[in-house]
Amino acid sequence: MVRAAFCLAAAVLISALLGGCTMAPAGTKPARPKEELIISRGPCHGFCPVYRVSVTPGGLVSFDGMQHTALLGSRTRAVSRKVYEEVSRAILPMRPPTGSVRDWRCEHQPTDTSLITLEWQREDGTRTVLRYKLGCRSADGAMIERLIERQLQRLGVVGWLRQASPPDSRHVLNDTSDKTGRGSSLRK
């Protein structure tokens, strides 16, 4: 009888250990849901590039050049999940609270310049948006422009989105387009 009770207690203990709940190690945060990351640039009072670039957690990069970009129209390419993670981590400090839309505060707000929008979009449709007016004359403004530029380079789309020629002679890039990331895409 004692042996049967011992065997039953051992079976319950083993079952709990093998099939029980797992706990995250102390000090770890729960994983953030994977989100599509979107960087877009709106028009200005001139010949500024207008585009939308997105990257999914699986590494699909979608580009849509709307005005004054080296490539007009849509194009896709693939990057590694590591690149997605690097971009996600780089822009995370600027992320507003989930579900909110915020404007980057700038003391000396420029006029007639493009609006850059960073967007985090979850599968359930929840959007988190940060809007930044290019040309903010502050250390923070310069930092955010460099940071966005680096992410566009990581995604391999700089050659597609920069204005590579005078506005009156647009060219469409072919598949051998410049993917080196050279040149600035934000200030042109």
pLDDT value for 45: 85
Q: What is the pLDDT along the chain (188 residues), one digit of tens a residue?
A: 544 444 444 443 334 333 433 344 455 454 566 899 999 999 988 889 999 999 999 999 999 999 999 999 999 999 999 999 999 999 999 999 999 999 988 887 778 889 999 999 999 999 999 999 988 878 888 889 999 999 999 999 999 998 855 554 444 444 434 444 444 445 44
pLDDT value for 2: 44
Please check whether residue 171 is in contact with residue 70, taking contact to mean a CB–CB distance below 8 angstroms: yes
Nearest to 46 by CA among 106, 119, 134, 149: 134
| pTM score, whole prediction | 0.72
- Type of residue found at 146: R
Q: Which domains does the chain have, with CATH numbers?
A: 33-188 (3.30.1560)
Q: How far apart are CA 73 and CA 71, in angstroms?
A: 6
pLDDT value for 164: 56
